[in-house]
Amino acid sequence: MSNILEVKDLKVSYGAIQAIKGITFHIKQGEMVALIGANGAGKTTTLKTLAGMLKPVGGEIVYMGKPLSSIKNYDLVREGLALVPEGRGIFGRLTVTENLEMGAYSRTDSKANIQADIDRMFEIFPRLKERAFQLAGTMSGGEQQMLAISRALMSKPKLLLLDEPSMGLAPIIVQKIFETIREVAKDGVTLLLVEQNAKLALQTCQRAYVMDGGKITLEGDAKELLHDEAVQKAYLGE
Amino acid sequence: MNKTMKYGLLLVLLVALPFIVNATPFLGPTWVRILGYAMLYVMLALGLNIVIGYAGLLDMGYIGFYAVGAYLYAVLSSPHLFENALASGPMDWPFWVVIPLCAIVAGIFGVLLGAPTLKLRGDYLAIVTLGFGEIIRIFMNNLDRPYNLTNGPQGINNINPLHIGTHSLKSTWTLFGLEFTPVINYYLVFLGIVIFVIFLSSRLENSRIGRAWMALREDEIAAEAMGLNKRNIKLLAFGMGATFGGVSGALFSSYQGFVSPESFVLMESIMILAMVVLGGMGSISGVVIGAVILSVMPELFRDVVNAIQPVLVNNITFISEDTLRNVLDASTLRMLVFGLAMVLVMRYRPEGLWPSARRRQELHDKDEEPFDSAHYVKETSHAKISADEPDNRDTTGEGR
């Protein structure tokens, strides 16, 4: 399988502070990869850079064989790279349906196709269907996260970047959301999952990178990392 | 009564209104004229509603586009350029050229204003746009040198009314026994344009562009992640809003026959903003109501105060007559009442007088239970999860 995303020696700075100190990783087509680490390890910074929101000071990112810097921010989604931003970023004063329609903004196919996909999202998350004409901002955190994920899926992404989907949610809702993430991945969407909840992320994904202080300190098979003593000590507290 | 009938009835009422007002004692042509101005304000407010209500960009210099439209029409439809040896004859371009031109030029100005402010939001944007509005006015005030384009503070006179050939809106017609006086003609034309503008606004609101504006207002980062080009969408909002302002300005110019920089002061921008906010941001019917109320109320108020003032001045002796006259002055009292009314409306009806469904739901979420979520849960696939979950939804607020 070919690499959908390749990152080589990536460096990102906020002014004088270097947040990412040269990381190298890759994601293969159809894979589920987790990026785990403690607060301030540089996970979200990495993701923001991949989504075009931050400009790297060094290194290169190759997406589908093209340098990422050659693609404009707003064209990323047309190239199949969708982001579920940290804190969900749903459109609070738009209804659930309108949010989903916004997810399909970049698509040029027929309205019927888009409607079919909206219905499919409602099948995956029946709770969204109940709230179809409700303002997204009035929903619970879990429902908003469901909406954020379905909205990103509406663009028919090839690579889905998920930033902390479990943030601020009850364990029971997190379970449901991760179940869906696994199902989505079966349909052929490649996934990069950034998570604090290392255990859950490692159980969900096939491969994982562990970040610390702006560097990748460990990488490998998720199942192995889950049982790796160093990881357990540092992140799982067991 | 179905919707079409309701709208039809409303239309008939609105068309009949100037004739009724014209024939009513105490009202007469002055009040038909006021109704005409109200229509212009409706257009302005609907234009600003696109920028503020839909795209969420706080534009305080909106009156600048009104000025651009008004002056462009004035210059192209008056002998002003000829008198100053800038044109070979009195300018009299046909309105179907001038009005679209005013719309386009104002739209370009809108984009010009938008371009440097793309990265600004909220109060910062308000300050920059406020400056822009003032710049336009000051230009109008000073562009009498080196070439006399605007005639400076004196303004431009003798502007032609809207006309086709020799048939002018400023002449009186008789049709089916009804007398169409100039003010009535203008009102009817304005009404037609307002209806068109309302139609356009409602189409925009429910279009792909409209949704993109709202998405941008809600969350810029997420909106960009959806693949919308932030720059173009914002500029489109500024341009579109300015277009409405430009048309309204051109009509104002032809209606009044005279323009001067005084008509385009900051206070006007604030008034239009107040119309949008009072009526209900993002709600077309609300904005229309807001514009009508805020443009008609001051006139009504003046009539009332002018009627009461002499009675009070003659009967109250314990306050000196001068003081009383000053306090009971219509323009002084107007600002007082206006301010008080705004405070009360914002306190008790922050979503506006006739808000869109969105705003109502957002601001009055806690008033009534909009949905009873917990009851649904057991009927859905989540039932499996919630079965082994303690039934504490009421206390944790989960499921809302």
Q: What is the pLDDT along chain A (238 residues), one digit of tens a residue?
A: 588 999 999 999 988 888 899 999 999 988 899 998 888 888 889 998 998 888 999 899 999 988 998 998 889 999 999 988 888 889 988 889 999 999 999 888 888 999 999 999 999 888 899 988 888 988 888 899 989 999 999 998 999 999 888 888 888 888 888 888 888 888 888 999 998 888 888 888 899 998 888 889 888 888 888 888 777 776 655 4
DSSP conformational letter for B54: I
Residues of chain A contacting residue B217, judged by C-beta atoms under 8 Å apart: 93
Could you tell me if A175 lies within 8 Å of chain B, comparing CB atoms?
yes
- Closest residue, chain A, to B380 (C-alpha): A126
Residues of chain A contacting residue B377, judged by C-beta atoms under 8 Å apart: 127
Beta carbons of B241 and B62 less than 8 angstroms apart: yes
pLDDT band at B214 (very low <50, low <70, confident <90, very high): very high
Binary contact (B385, A172; C-beta < 8 A): yes
Could you tell me if A137 lies within 8 Å of chain B, comparing CB atoms?
yes
Which single residue is written with the structure tokens 């889905």?
Answer: A160
* B295 pLDDT more than 60: yes
* B368 pLDDT more than 80: no
Instruction: Please write the tens of the pLDDT for every residue from B80-123.
Output: 888 887 778 778 888 889 999 999 999 999 999 899 988 888 88
* Chain B residues bordering chain A (beta-carbon distance below 8 Å): 208, 211-212, 214-215, 217-219, 221-230, 358-359, 361-362, 365, 370-371, 373, 376-377, 380-382, 385-386, 389, 396-400
Q: How many helices (H) and strands (E) does chain A have?
A: 9, 10
**CA–CA separation, B208 vs B189, rounded Å?**
30
Give the distance from residue B376's alpha carbon to the nearest chain A alpha carbon, in angstroms. 8
Give the distance from residue B219's alpha carbon to the nearest chain A alpha carbon, in angstroms. 6
B207, B220, B226, B229: best to mutate for the A interface, most A CBs within 10 A: B226
Closest CA to A24 of A51, A52, A61, A56: A61
More confident residue, A60 or B312: A60
- A196 burial class (0-12, 13-18, 19+ CB within 10 angstroms)? middle
Give me the amino acid identity at A43: K
pLDDT band at B381 (very low <50, low <70, confident <90, very high): very low
In three-state secondary structure terms, A13 is strand
Binary contact (B211, A94; C-beta < 8 A): yes
Give the distance from residue B100's alpha carbon to the nearest chain A alpha carbon, in angstroms. 31
What six digits make up the tokens of A206? 């096939």
Could you tell me if A140 lies within 8 Å of chain B, comparing CB atoms?
yes
Beta carbons of A47 and A192 less than 8 angstroms apart: yes
Listed range (A155-169, B146-160, B243-257, B365-379) with the worst mean pLDDT: B365-379
Q: Is it true that the peptide bond before A56 is cis, omega within 30 degrees of 0?
A: no
- Evaluated on CA atoms B362, B364, B366, B372, the torsion sign reads negative
In three-state secondary structure terms, B181 is coil
Give the distance from residue B349's alpha carbon to the nearest chain A alpha carbon, in angstroms. 18
User: In the prediction, which pLDDT does A236 show?
Assistant: 56
Which single residue is written with the structure tokens 């506006």?
Answer: B352
A49, A77, A91: best to mutate for the B interface, most B CBs within 10 A: A91
- Closest residue, chain B, to A151 (C-alpha): B226
Q: A162 pairs with which residues across the strands? A: A84, A193
Q: Rounded to an integer, what is the distance from CA A7 to the centroid of its chain?
A: 16
- Closest residue, chain A, to B399 (C-alpha): A140
Closest CB from A137, A142, A155 relative to B227:
A155
- The residues, any chain, with a CB within 8 Å of residue A138's CB and separated by 6 or more, are A92, B361, B362, B365, B370
Report for A67-76, B353-362, B374-383: range of highest mean pLDDT: A67-76
The domain ranges of chain B are: 27-266
**CA–CA separation, B362 vs B351, rounded Å?**
9
User: In the prediction, which pLDDT does A237 show?
Assistant: 54
What six digits make up the tokens of B7? 């709208």
Closest CB from B227, B359, B396 relative to A78:
B227
Q: How many helices (H) and strands (E) does chain B have?
A: 18, 4
Closest CA to B190 of B41, B77, B367: B41
Listed range (B124-133, B267-276, B378-387) with the worst mean pLDDT: B378-387
Residues of chain B contacting residue A134, judged by C-beta atoms under 8 Å apart: 361, 370-371
- The residues, any chain, with a CB within 8 Å of residue A154's CB and separated by 6 or more, are A100, A101, A103, A104, A107, A114, A117, A118, A121
In three-state secondary structure terms, A11 is strand
- Average of per-residue pLDDT across B65-77: 94
Binary contact (A77, B225; C-beta < 8 A): yes
Could you tell me if A132 lies within 8 Å of chain B, comparing CB atoms?
no
DSSP conformational letter for B159: P
Residues of chain B contacting residue A82, judged by C-beta atoms under 8 Å apart: 225
